[in-house]
Amino acid sequence: MNIIEFSVEILSKLKKDLDILKMDGENKLIQFESAFHLVDRAMDKIKLFMGKYEFVSDKEEIEFFKKHMSYFLKESVYFSELFNMESVKPSGPESKIRKFYEKELTSIKEFLQANQNLYNYLLMKKENQDRVFFLRSSQAPVYKPNLFWHTLDTRYCTVYTLYFARIMGTLALADYIHEQLLTLKVYKNPIAQVKRSPLYWTGRKTDLVELVYALKTSTAVNNGNASVAELVTSIGEVFGKEIHDYYRTFLEIRSRKKNRTVFLKQCQEKLEAYMDEYEGRE
């Protein structure tokens, strides 16, 4: 068995263990701490296997550190940050909890902006720097000075494996926060819950997210005081569409090199064409 196959096997078991953990009790902090230790034990098995394993090619080593080890580290980052965040979350009222989560999202946004180049590399699935980022023999300069990197055990991880793991873990944390915001009463629309809308969104999710952020930035709803999460909830209820991971989708839209507002431009063009056609009927 090669290291890729072994990693897939360990990951499969880890996911099952994490799923079982979700159903075990209601104390979130205990769950997050236990999940972190499950990931830690899984990585110990990987490291033990690596101790007596030699990569057969640079391609295999790159694949392992880019796709597999980074995933385990991402889970470790995620549950660690999740535990730290939830342990200091205010107990209430809900308006205070909302502000707490929104502040966390601001910190996440700043982190992603500070690592925009690496995030774009990950998002666009580039490969041109893989040899630099994911080969342990690479003498690549550190992306940003950080004393921690000098203490890293490079037998089991490259600096950039950890960089990418932190980015992925942070994105997962953002997804969690958005899900929590949607459960707060301040985001629930009681009218929409009583009467289901007959309208359904049949376009792409990215188009709907583009529309949500356009409404947010236009300040046309509640004088601009409606949050993105509130707009996501209300628009999702109107169109019978649950909009998950909308912040990540927004980042994907933002990273487009050309014509970032594709859907809005299509709407403008079709409306103008309709107006021209209507004028011709008069």
Question: pLDDT confidence of 188, banded at 50, 70, 90?
Answer: very low
Confidence at 281, pLDDT banded by 50, 70, 90? low
24, pLDDT greater than 80: no
Q: Which residues contact 224 (CB under 8 A, 6 or more apart)?
A: 216, 218
Does residue 190 have a pLDDT over 60?
no
Neighbours of 263 (CB within 10 A): 17
* Cα–Cα dist 165/27, whole Å: 26
Locate 152 and state its tokens.
């890293």
Count Cβ neighbours within 10 Å for each residue of 53-77 and write b for 16 or more, e otherwise. eebeeeeebbbbbbebbbbbbbbbb
| Domain ranges for the chain | 3-185, 190-281
Alpha helices (runs of H) in the chain, residue ranges in sequence order = 3-22, 28-50, 58-63, 69-87, 94-114, 116-123, 130-134, 159-183, 190-194, 205-218, 228-238, 246-254, 262-281
Q: Which of 84-88, 182-186, 275-279 is most confident?
A: 84-88
Q: Cβ distance 84 to 23 under 8 Å?
A: no
Residue 49: the pLDDT is 95
Q: What is the dihedral of CA 262, 264, 269, 271, to 10 degrees?
A: 150
Find out whether the peptide bond into 93 is cis, omega within 30 degrees of 0. yes
Owner of token pair 């299509």: 266
What's the pLDDT tens digit per position in 141-180? 555 555 455 557 778 888 899 999 999 999 999 989 988 8
Give the pLDDT score at 27. 84
What is the per-residue pLDDT for 279? 65
pLDDT at 121 over 80: yes
- pLDDT value of residue 123: 83
Identity of the highest mean pLDDT range in 9-18, 121-130, 184-193, 234-243: 9-18
**Distance in angstroms (rounded) separating the CA atoms of residues 7 and 13:** 10
Residue 185's contacts (CB-CB under 8 Å, 6 or more residues apart) are 94
Buried b vs exposed e over 126-163: b needs ≥16 C-beta within 10 Å?
A: eeeebeebbbeebeeeeeeeeeeeeeeeeebbbbbbbb
